[in-house]
Amino acid sequence: MNGISIAVFLSFGLFVEIILTQLAILLVLARIGVGKKEYYRYPLNLTMFSAVSLIGAFTFWLLGGDHQSIDFTSFQDIVAIFGYAITVFVVNQLFIKMNHRVFYKRNVKLFDKGFLWEIQSSLIVLPVGFVLFVLYTEIGRIAIFYMGIPFVMIAIILKLLYSYQEINRYLEETGEIGHQLTKKMVVNEVYDVFISKIANLVTMDCAYIYMVVDEHLELVRFTDAKNEIQPTHSRLSKNEAFSGMVWEENKPILYNNSKEWSFLKANKIPKDMESVISLPIETNNSTIGIVTLVSKEKNAFGKVHLRILDILTNYFGVAIENAKNYEITKLNSEKDGLTKLYNYRYFNNAVEEYGSNITKSSIYSLILLDLDHFKQVNDKYGHEAGNEILRLFADTLTEFIGEKGLVARYGGEEFVISLPHINLTEACKLAESLRALIAETPFPVMKHIFPHNDVEYVSVTASIGVSAYPDHCETLNELIRHADRAMYLGAKQRGRNKVAVYQELQPN
């Protein structure tokens, strides 16, 4: 339009150029499908481009130009023509940026990629428009035919160049996103990286990430461009809304305006949305989730977005599976296989981590338990029954301690309880209550070593040692040793089924 408008302005004047520009704007707005809610764009753009034409013409005349008598060899006329072209370009860019800030509340920069693209295209198109004017002046209307073909070819080349640049940009950013996803070993971090990068990569208003959980889709992440919208649902069934359709059919969908999906009654997205793109997340030939993006703009997404998002969802699916496998492996390395409690290695790391941040005002207590005469239980009822008691005993400890501390299996029939922020007095009360609970709680077991697996209730007792920081030591590393000493010397050797405190063993 810029190339044609300069030829029309120089040949026929301002009025004809404005009429041509207005018609072009109407065609563009009709082509992109401006909806009822955006009808304001018609008067806005018509007014804006009329103002651009008027200011450009005023600059042309101010520099001494006269479209009725242009001399191509006149320096003044050449300056006037260049002044007109530059003014139209600059004023047009200013209006565009102002439009983004005022009407769309977008914080845009003047010298962005769009500005550079306009400079490149204008440097190609404007000289061709000037040549059209020269030829029209010399040979008449046939010049439109001669220059029309180059204009069409230039338009096609510019469109292909723009598409190439966009695809290349998308591919570069897609590769970087894939690289960042593969580095995350926690599933929630994978979700966060993916949705934040998608929001920056693709222009959209809302994004949803669902994961398949049992027989429904669970909404695990949601974001909107302005942080003003809250999701109206947390799960979907098959064939429900866009994501449910994609899950059922295992095919992506792309809608460019709301009329295309008017058949869908419950779409679960904000009412003013127009464009929708939704894709399955697949790994090992199965769908594990759905990604859905929506936009208020018509024709917001195209085939290029479909291809890019298809690549990204593949990265995403692989990253999720890797993170899940890592978390399972990590959990198995931290948990005791029999009791499902944390093992001693995890417990020791937790104590060291807490100890690295300890201060003078910190308090920390530790309880060490050992089941009394447990070998006799194994001999009488069998090792399977003994293992069952250990599992039930671990459940009892976990339920009793709750959120107060960390329970771990120390080894064999020994268990340890870490109690951050609990002083010695409170720890002793907990230990005594726990001792009484254990002694009063019979555990049901099967007598596996006999022909008939009858259920029998077995009572056990525990010897318990307690130590605390800073009462008994200067560093947390000494706590386990002190608690162990209290348990054996103070509880085991004094009759078992007792609670002993390390301080009581010290000479007066």
pLDDT digits (tens, 9 = 90+) for 82-101: 888 888 888 888 888 888 77
Pick the more confident residue, 38 or 429: 429
Lowest-confidence segment of 6-20, 299-313, 488-502 by average pLDDT: 6-20
246, 252 contact by CB (below 8 A)? yes
State whether residue 498 is helix, strand or coil: coil
172 noted as active-site residue: no
Percent of the chain with pLDDT strictly greater than 70 = 95
pLDDT digits (tens, 9 = 90+) for 66-75: 877 777 778 8
CA distance 189 to 196: 11
Pick the more confident residue, 162 or 274: 274
Q: Which pLDDT does position 449 carry in this prediction? A: 58
Structure confidence at residue 450 as a pLDDT band (50, 70, 90): low
Q: Which of 413, 414, 478, 504 is catalytic?
A: 413
CA-atom Rg of the chain in angstroms = 38
Q: Which pLDDT does position 506 carry in this prediction? A: 57
Is the predicted pLDDT of residue 451 greater than 60, yes or no?
A: no
37, 271 contact by CB (below 8 A)? no
Helix (H) or strand (E) segment spanning residue 224: strand 216-224
Instruction: Give the pLDDT mean for 280-298.
Output: 90
Q: Where are the alpha helices (DSSP H) in 221-337?
A: 241-249, 303-334
pLDDT digits (tens, 9 = 90+) for 184-206: 888 899 999 999 888 888 888 89
pLDDT digits (tens, 9 = 90+) for 117-164: 778 777 777 777 777 777 777 787 777 777 777 777 877 887 888 777
6, 83 contact by CB (below 8 A)? no
Helix (H) or strand (E) segment spanning residue 464: strand 462-469
Instruction: Give the pLDDT mean for 345-358.
Output: 84
Q: In the Cβ-directed half-sphere of 148, how many Cα atoms lie within 13 Å?
A: 5
Is the predicted pLDDT of residue 265 greater than 80, yes or no?
A: no
pLDDT digits (tens, 9 = 90+) for 369-424: 999 999 998 888 888 888 999 999 999 999 999 999 999 998 889 999 999 989 99
Q: Which pLDDT does position 266 carry in this prediction? A: 66
Q: Which pLDDT does position 411 carry in this prediction? A: 87
Q: Which pLDDT does position 37 carry in this prediction? A: 67
Q: Which residues contact 475 (CB under 8 A, 6 or more apart)?
A: 355, 469
Shortest CA distance to 342 belongs to which of 417, 273, 402, 281? 417
CA distance 73 to 137: 14
Q: Which pLDDT does position 461 carry in this prediction? A: 94
Is the predicted pLDDT of residue 208 greater than 90, yes or no?
A: yes
Shortest CA distance to 194 belongs to which of 204, 216, 179, 205? 179
Shortest CA distance to 52 belongs to which of 3, 92, 2? 92
Q: Which pLDDT does position 389 carry in this prediction? A: 92
Find the helix packing angle between 303-334 and 142-183, rounded to 10°: 0
DSSP code per residue over 267-281: --S-TT--EEEEEEE
Lowest-confidence segment of 15-24, 31-40, 357-366 by average pLDDT: 31-40
Instruction: Give the pLDDT mean for 321-333.
Output: 85
Helix (H) or strand (E) segment spanning residue 397: helix 383-401
Q: Which pLDDT does position 379 carry in this prediction? A: 86
- What mean pLDDT is reported for the chain? 85
Is the predicted pLDDT of residue 505 greater than 70, yes or no?
A: no
Percent of the chain with pLDDT strictly greater than 90 = 29
CA distance 126 to 294: 37
pTM of the predicted protein model = 0.62
> Which domains does the chain show, CATH number per domain?
2-140 (no CATH), 183-329 (3.30.450.40), 344-505 (3.30.70.270)
pLDDT digits (tens, 9 = 90+) for 1-29: 777 788 788 888 888 888 988 898 888 88
Q: Which pLDDT does position 137 carry in this prediction? A: 77
Pick the more confident residue, 305 or 69: 305
DSSP single-letter state for residue 360: T
Based on the number of CB atoms within 10 Å of its own CB, is 65 exposed (0-12), middle (13-18) or buried (19 or more)?
A: buried
Is the predicted pLDDT of residue 172 greater than 80, yes or no?
A: yes
Is the predicted pLDDT of residue 298 greater than 70, yes or no?
A: yes
Q: Which pLDDT does position 217 carry in this prediction? A: 93
Q: Which two tokens stand for residue 85?
A: 């072209």
